Structure 1
Amino acid sequence: MISYRHHIVSLVAVFLALAAGIALGGGPLSDLGRDDQPAAASTRADRATEQRASYGDQFATASAGALYAGGLKDHPVAVVTLPGADADAAGGLGVQVRAAGGTVAGTYAVQRALTDASEKSLVDTLGSQLTQQLGAGAVSPDSSTYVRIGQLLGLAVATSDLSTADVAAVRESLAGADLATAPDAAPRAPLVLLVLGRHTDPAILAGVVTGLADKATGVVVAGTTAAAAAAGDLGVLRSDPAAHQVATVDGVETPLGQVTAVLALIRSLTTPGGSYGVAGADGAVPVR
């Protein structure tokens, strides 16, 4: 007898195949003997591919509630955006967090200075000052510049280890140095969605991700389809040891990718890591 779980897995496989444009008879051998296809046939093929991709997004949106099964109920999520992150993608992720029963505790915008290698001195100085101010145990004393600032960002958005006053001090310091903005009095959230933007130096990104993962229960790094290319930020991060501590999801400019990211968030409550999406090494969608 086919279980409900197996039924859901099968449905997920179907809509992912459709979204990727996989169709019977669509392989490279299907063009043999048809070197001179009329332009109209090519147009129809392009339209069919677009329709399949659209269907995948529609299916993901319609079935998201059943796939989530309230997996984020009572779990606040912090959304952290890197410079150049797509506002529509970040907003769509927030919608899906709420559809899974969770809440968006706050949206934090990392500013250009934090990810600009020419501003490393500023990042290092502020990190050292805050580490001394917070005292022993808050930040690893031997952390590198960007792992340390990632830990401080994690203290500001995720951890419950600091007092409310100390958290406010970290947030104010990050904002005062134009490194990151924070909403007023936002509650801390153990789950973090880090939304990639324009290109970030790989070493800086890996350091920030490592630091965040040190302080949060679960971190999902979300990037676009383009970012998942071998030379893209997500593609490079996936080859770095830093990625072992977090889940990575590509394609979040689409509803299908946004649903996948929230499924990865749910999974991160119990199991860290994983690489998902069209270019994901661990499969298209994390299935609990």
Structure 2
Amino acid sequence: MTTRMIAGSRWLPAVSTCFALAVGLGLGAGPLQGEDDTATRPRSAAPRGEAQTFPDAFAAAVAPGLYGRRLAGQSVALVTLPGADAVVVKALTDEIVAAGGSVASRTDVTAGLTAPGQKVLVDTFGTQLAEQVPGVVDPAATTYPRIGRLVAAAVATSGAAGPASAGAATIRRSLVAGSLISDPGTAGVAPLVLVVAGADLDDAIASGLVSGLAAGAHGVVVTAPTKAADLAAVREGAPTAATVDGSETAAGRVASVLALVRQISGGGGSFGASGIDGAVPLG
């Protein structure tokens, strides 16, 4: 393992507790009152009109201290699923940078890969591509873990970040040619993967895809809108991945980046608005 490990900075328990409390108030909090704060609106908050909920404003304000630049020197591959909100994707990218990290690549998974009616095509394509790049995929892998592992080979690494190898570039071009992914940006490989979910997917597809990604990356975090149905299936099929719901809120996005920090040293978990392990990973 050559992934660079970052020593955790000191945490301020009082600030951490307040942050978790603020997230927990989300459903009941109303908008902040007062004059227009456009000029001073915290970076973490996605545009939502002229007012923010208190948890979002609080999360945006404390995020820099919570991050402590603990993603410094770390590279993240951004993978979006169909229905992912472009505003949320941009805000998450900004949060990664604010924590000291960088985005090595962005890959948009298409409905051609995730639609249940496309399973035969995905299975055939994945089988043929796996045969062309022997040693990447477990021969016993089924349809969606197989295609997830191939996507991982194109964007992720269990070692150090760097430019895509010839093999990774070949797989990426093949997936693009098969209309299973689109490539809106520079391609590189990264040890950390942030999957941004949107519309609900079939459980087997979501679970298999993420388990395949997790098999080829050092760490994976899946972030989704509040109470997203996919996350339970992802946790069952890919227990090493971390899940966070509430990506439409600043609090959820901050929790997503802290989950990436946690993945540096390993560890799954369920966090966010409905997280069974707490609102935010504090360890």
Alignment TM-score > 0.5, same fold: yes
Q: Is the 8 A contact 2:16 2:66 kept in 1?
A: no
Q: CA deviation at 1:210?
A: 0.5
Aligned to 1:40: none
Task: Tell me the CA shift for residue 101 of structure 1.
Answer: 0.2
The residue number in structure 1 matching 2:265 is 270
AA matched with 1:210:
S
Post-superposition Cα deviations, 1:34-76, rounded to whole Å, max 9, x if no partner, equal xxxxxxxxxxxxxx63349712111111111110111111111
2:39 is matched with none
| Contact 1:193-1:222 at 8 Å conserved across structures | yes
Identity, % of aligned positions: 44
Summarize deviations over 1:73-101 as a string: whole Å, max 9, x none. 11111111111111111111111000000
Pairing of 1:79-98 with structure 2 (within 5 A): 79-98=78-97
Q: Which residue of 2 aligns with 1:120?
A: 119
1:188 aligned onto 2:189: yes
- Separation in 2 of the partners of 1:14 and 1:199? 28
Instruction: Say if 2:108 and 2:184, in contact at 8 Å, map to a contact too.
Output: no
Aligned residues: 253
* 2:129 is the counterpart of 1:130: yes
Residue 42 of structure 2 corresponds to which residue in structure 1?
none
CA-atom RMSD, angstroms? 2.1
Task: Kindly indicate whether residue 31 of structure 2 is the aligned counterpart of residue 50 of structure 1.
Answer: yes
Equivalent residue letter for 2:23: L
Q: Secondary structure at the match of 1:207?
A: helix
* TM-score normalised by L of structure 1: 0.82
Kindly report which structure 2 residues correspond to 1:1-288, keeping only aligned pairs within 5 A, or say none: 5-21=12-28, 49-51=30-32, 54-135=53-134, 137-159=135-157, 164-183=165-184, 185-227=186-228, 232-234=229-231, 236-237=232-233, 240-288=235-283
1:141 Cα deviation from its structure 2 partner: 1.0
**Highest Rg: 1 or 2?**
1
CA distance in 1, matches of 2:185, 2:24: 43
The TM-score normalised by the length of structure 2 is 0.84
Which has more helix, going by share of residues?
A: 1
Q: Is the 8 A contact 2:154 2:172 kept in 1?
A: yes
> Distance in 2 between the 1:115 and 1:54 partners?
34
Given the superposition, is the C-alpha separation of residues 163 and 194 from structure 1 closer, same or farther in structure 2, using an over 3 Å criterion?
closer
For 2:13, the aligned partner's letter is H
CA distance in 2, matches of 1:160, 1:217: 4
Q: Distance in 2 between matches of 1:130 and 1:75?
A: 30
Q: Is contact 1:160-1:188 (8 Å) kept?
A: no
